[in-house]
A = this chain, B = another copy of it.
């Protein structure tokens, strides 16, 4: 079965909650949830019973779309519409669990190739149909919610039929991947030829190549393989006005780097239909070590030393005391308090040995205690699992959500304090004191990202409860001068903070680009620049 044969309705009614492998909360978690005041919640509404909006595509629009992609690739079946409603954030889960599918598209359209995407966009421009480009559907920032005002309808443009590896240049170490290809399948196809993309975001089991590109995905191995925006050497963009093809060389001085204008545009400027990416030889060896630091500051200094002077592991992250305590509450995780760092190495045996020896010396010199491979391998084994706990946590009456940011090294500790305080104060004021966990998820020579996980009891109005916490965290991030998002993207959730971050004149310039490529404004209205 190829990816394009996947059913339109995915077996993930609540997105993170694949019933085929329903996650169970570990035993220790139940006690912790009790201490937070969590009480079991009523069971969620069956997705089949979710309230869909009453909208339908007008017959002429539907006929025009069917003429492009074939009638069998336009569907308004309720299950397909629900499966294309919003993304993977906790608010998205909360809404769907409450039976609210109000943001569902009127129909799902599945073009076969780049040309069909262009023609679908042209039809939609002509019929004033808003278009939500849909790859893996894993947005956690409201990136899949079209503002339908002023439009005659909304479709999800699902790129899953644009799958496959369509070119591999072993000498240049590049591969051309179509937008709908799942990350997992891309790894499989590249692996068959001895290569890896090396891109492993937490959404890896669901996300697709086009989404990686459209949202500047980072990936947990960014220290070693680079962010997705660093992997892309060329791309093809379908717009309502035609095609843009960019990337004549690895790097160029031919004007601005317009690849970087398309990457991160979140479907508002066009639909990325394929990318050519840097690939690496499939690693012969993977080793993940755990390291313990007495304090977050000591661990951060160690990570900074590696990021600035090397050698750089493939994966490098540091949990704060609270996150470490939660990790270590699982008896399998080993260690003894403090802050847990993970340093992972992938490559040839010689490369892994050399980098591991060099980095271990730096980590030890910075006060790190080597915990061996057990915590590292435990992290690696469970790296995609945490989000699957959301449904059982919600069942148990606990709200869990994440947010992330990045800044320069000199401001990192202050940023961590400010965001933690904002989250704690806001939720405590609401009567639901939280546990706030934080880790450094990605490092650069000049700075790092911070990833926060918040856990508290569900209040009576969980959407408003989280919105207040998120608002406070956002204000703290912007007050610190940090970026509103390091790898989740802007979507609709970060739109106001994004405007603040880039300022009105830059926003106006970006809107001018959008008006040029998408004069009817049909592409993801309300997202990013909306």
Please determine whether B253 and A489 come into contact, CB atoms closer than 8 angstroms: yes
Task: Give every chain B residue within 8 A of A215 (Cβ-Cβ).
Answer: 253
Please determine whether B249 and A506 come into contact, CB atoms closer than 8 angstroms: no
What class of interface size applies to chain A in its complex with B? 35 or more
Please determine whether A409 and B264 come into contact, CB atoms closer than 8 angstroms: no
Within 8 A of B (CB), among A195-250: 215-218, 227, 229, 233, 239, 241-246, 248-250
Within 8 A of B (CB), among A116-174: 169, 171-174
Please determine whether A244 and B490 come into contact, CB atoms closer than 8 angstroms: no
- Judged by a CB distance under 8 angstroms, whether A317 is at the interface is no
Please determine whether B447 and A485 come into contact, CB atoms closer than 8 angstroms: no
- Judged by a CB distance under 8 angstroms, whether A349 is at the interface is no
Please determine whether A508 and B516 come into contact, CB atoms closer than 8 angstroms: yes
The copy count of this chain in the complex is 2
Within 8 A of B (CB), among A241-287: 241-246, 248-258, 260-266, 269, 278
- Judged by a CB distance under 8 angstroms, whether A510 is at the interface is yes
Say which residue of B227, B252, B483, B510 sits within 8 Å of A248 (CB atoms): B483
Task: Give every chain B residue within 8 A of A407 (Cβ-Cβ).
Answer: 248-249
Please determine whether B512 and A250 come into contact, CB atoms closer than 8 angstroms: no
Please determine whether A278 and B490 come into contact, CB atoms closer than 8 angstroms: no
Please determine whether A242 and B505 come into contact, CB atoms closer than 8 angstroms: yes
Please determine whether A256 and B249 come into contact, CB atoms closer than 8 angstroms: no
Report the bound CA distance from A494 to B206 in whole Å. 43
Report the bound CA distance from A276 to B524 in whole Å. 33
- Judged by a CB distance under 8 angstroms, whether A502 is at the interface is yes
Shortest A88–chain B CB gap in Å is 15
Please determine whether B263 and A257 come into contact, CB atoms closer than 8 angstroms: yes
Please determine whether B216 and A253 come into contact, CB atoms closer than 8 angstroms: yes
Please determine whether A255 and B447 come into contact, CB atoms closer than 8 angstroms: no
Please determine whether B445 and A505 come into contact, CB atoms closer than 8 angstroms: no
Please determine whether A250 and B502 come into contact, CB atoms closer than 8 angstroms: no
Please determine whether B253 and A174 come into contact, CB atoms closer than 8 angstroms: no
Report the bound CA distance from A253 to B406 in whole Å. 10
Report the bound CA distance from A291 to B265 in whole Å. 45
Say which residue of B253, B262, B494, B510 sits within 8 Å of A487 (CB atoms): B253
Task: Give every chain B residue within 8 A of A308 (Cβ-Cβ).
Answer: 173
- Judged by a CB distance under 8 angstroms, whether A405 is at the interface is yes
Please determine whether A248 and B501 come into contact, CB atoms closer than 8 angstroms: yes
- Judged by a CB distance under 8 angstroms, whether A388 is at the interface is no
- Judged by a CB distance under 8 angstroms, whether A25 is at the interface is no
The 4 closest A-B pairs by CB, nearest first: A260-B260, A249-B406, A250-B444, A249-B483
